Structures are given as C-alpha cells and as structure tokens.
Amino acid sequence: MVAYFIATRIKNRHINDEPYYKYFRIGLFIKIFAGLAFALIYLFYYGGGDTVYYFLGSESIVKMVDKDMPTFFKLLWGNHSLEVYSMFDRGTGWPLYFRDPNSFAVCRFNVLFYLMGFGSYLGNTIIMNLILYFGVWRFYKMVVRIYPNNEKWLAIALFFIPSVVFWSSGILKDGWTLTAVLFMFTNLYYIFIAKEKVVNNLLWILFWSYIAFSIRPYIFYVTIGSGLIWVGFAAVKAIESRFLRTIAMPFIILITWAAGVAILAQTSTMASKRYSSIDAMLETAQIIQDDLRKEYYGGNRFDIGAFEPTVRGVLSKFPVAVTAGLFRPFLWEANNILMLFSGIESVLLMLLILYLIIKTKVLGFFKAVFSDTFMISLLIFAITFAFFVGLTTANFGALVRYRIPVLPFLFIVLFNAVYKNNNVTDL
C-alpha cells in the first residue's frame, strides 16, 4: 500500500509535463509482483537456494550489531579476514558466502533492505524492488530524452520482458548488477553528453561502479568499455567541421583507449585474482566453463566445446558463445517449467530480431545503428556481454539469469532501428 501511494503521487506530479510517467506505476508493480512470484517459486518449488542464503547472510550481519558493533561495520565494508569470521557464532549464524567476496557483497548491500523490511524475506523483496526500480526508471527517462517519440517500445524493452523482470526482482546478484549497469550508462550520459549535475553524477557512477565491481567485475569492465566507446564517438560526432572531425578522431580514440587501460590497471589490484589481468580472466573463463560442464549439474548443463585460455582460443568460440548467450536454452533443451518459459522467450526473441531486421531491409538496420553513437554502444555491450555469458556459462539456470542485461539493450537497438526507418506504424 505504501508503494502504491508513493508511485501514484510521483506519477500524478509528473504526468502532465511528462506523459510517459503513465508507465511509472505499472512498471514498479510488475517488478514488485515479479519479486513476490520469484520468492514463492524459490521457496515452495525449489525449497530455497541462493536467494535464501543471501537473505540469511544479511541477517547474520545485522545480528552482529548486538554482539560487536565494530565487526558489524567491518562486515559492511567487506572485510573477509579470519578474525572477522571468528566473531560469528550460533547466535548470529554463519553466512554461507563469506569466503566468496563477490557473493558476500550481495549480503552486505542487502542489509539496508533487510532492516527496512523488518527482517521479513517478503518485506526485504518489496523494499529492494521499490528502491532499485528507480535505477531502471532513471535509465528509461534518459532513453526517452534521447528518443522522445519511442516511449511505448522503450517501456516494453525495460519493464515488460518477462525473464528480465523475473530474475532481476529476486534477492540475487542479478537485480543489483542490472541496476548498476543502467545507472552507470545514465551517469555517463549526464556527465559527458548532457553535462548536467556533473559532480552529483560522478559520485553516483563511482558508487554503482563499486557495486558492479564488487559483485561481478566483468560487468564493470564491459559497461565501462562500452560507455567509453559511446562517449568517444559522441565527442567525435559533436565536432561540426568534417575536416576537424577527421583530424580529431584518432586522438579521441587514443584518449578513450588510454582511459580504458588506466581504469583496468587501477582496478586490477582491487579485483580478485580471477579478474586481475586479461590472462587471468581468460583462464577463469576456461575453469568456470569446465566446472559447469560437470555431471553434478545434471540435465541443466550444455557444452559449447573446450577452448584454450588464449585470445585466439576464446575468439574461436565467438559465434557459438554469442548464440548461446542470446538464444539458449532452445525449446527442446528445456527440462523444467522455468526453462520452458525461457525457451519460448528465446524463440520469440529470435523471430522478433529476424522480423525487425527484415522490416528495416537489413541495410537499413545497420545504417540506423551505425549512425547513432548510443545504439553502437548498446549493441557492443549486448554482443560482448552475450559472448562472455555464453563462454563462461554451461548451465541453463545460470545462463538465463546472467544474460538479463543483454535483452533490454538489444530490444532498444531493434526498436529504434525500426523507428529510424519509419516502419513503426507497421509493428
């Protein structure tokens, strides 16, 4: 009820000047009810799982307040020492994911929502979705500003894709990482493109970069890399003189490349060994893929084939990995109800991609994409992310969760390509 009144008040305050606010309340409640559906399915169909362990991890951190306040703050800050772990006891419980910094980060970040939900799993879920939704909405406002005549289809891309809404609404890593990606792109836009509230947005991008880096470092790298490409191309395009643009292009590309290298160098010392260098990431990709192919994952596993942990070995898997990252599980590979829904969604996605590309007469699609710096960035993100997910994931349950940042971006590119080719009325 509180969420309903908040959403209604925000909608009524803005809808006269910004008509697209008609999607605000429905988008929020779809996300909240998806979170509740996720909770029911995981608690009563699967009997628990990761989501419960994340919640209980937050509970253990909160219970540390009564035992030792300094340790509580150390846990929030991400201290993973044996000394800190020794402070847990039967009264606090022992967080299962303490030894995994990336997983334990979810427990740390969820503490605020746990407290606001009064220690209730469902209350935690509702509060989390109510707050994280503002990251999705802020990104939606940005893309509506960039493409003001495409409000409905942008809303579909961000609020109504079933797997994206479902998997991003539970107490898992995925809701955090999707929100972080959307916030980072939005902050880059306001810092470098719109040049509005630069200091405020700089602080926000640092905060959400920390969130993404703490949970899944590769998401941080892909997002920043794609974002820098967007900023670099936008800087080139902003130069009116064709002559000056031609001269400036190599320098801007060099600056963008140098910025990416500097970010990688500075963050590699903070990342775990798995993400400390390009070679380490390639080796990690091979280890994860090999592990997920083991028999104990049962019928949910798939195999894209072995590869060497080298650039050449990884790139040899590019087509099959991107295909897996975008379209698997295929319908005949589904062995439970959730995978069946994912298979149906994959078929519909494949058909939609073919339909929209045909509608734009193929060349029109690529012309629309490559004339727009933002669409180039989103497409690079989608393909790169799908590649990494397909490469490092051999389990369908993980695959459908990990790829959710890809789908909204891919749909935005597709829908805007159609608009740019004046075919929207035929959709």
Q: How far apart are the C-alpha atoms of 419 and 148, rounded to whole Å?
A: 11
CA–CA gap between residue 368 and residue 380 (Å, rounded): 15
In order, the DSSP letters of 292-332 are HTSGGGGGGB-------SSHHHHHTTHHHHHHHHHHPSPGG
Q: What does residue 395 show for φ and ψ, rounded to 5 degrees?
A: -130, 125
In this structure, are residues 406 and 223 in contact, taking their beta carbons and an 8 Å threshold? no
End-to-end Cα, the chain, rounded Å: 36
CA 405, CA 157: separation in Å to the nearest integer? Answer: 11
Whole-number Cα distances in Å, 40 to 35, 53, 119, 200, 388: 9, 15, 17, 38, 30
Tell me the two tokens of residue 307: 């590869």
Closest to 396 (Cα-Cα) out of 297, 287, 300: 300
Strand partners for 91? none
Distance CA 2, CA 87 (A): 37
How far is the CA of 199 from the CAs of 142, 143, 189, 263, in angstroms? 18, 21, 13, 19
Give the pair of three-digit tokens for residue 251: 């320098």
Strand partners of residue 395? 301
Q: What one-character DSSP code corresponds to residue 273?
A: G
Q: Quick one: which of 402, 393, 390, 395 has its CA closest to 299?
A: 395
Strand partners, 324: none
Stretches where the chain sits below pLDDT 50 are: 295-297, 423-427
Domain borders along the chain are: 49-119, 277-427
Residue 315, token pair as written in the block: 């790139």
Task: Check residue 284 and give its pLDDT.
Answer: 60
pLDDT of amino acid 426: 39
pLDDT in tens, 412-422: 998 888 877 76
Could you read off the pLDDT of 57-112 as tens digits, one per residue? 999 999 999 988 999 999 988 888 889 899 999 888 899 889 888 899 999 999 99
Residue appearing with tokens 């909770």 = 39
pLDDT of residue 427: 37
Residue 132 host element (H or E) = helix 121-146
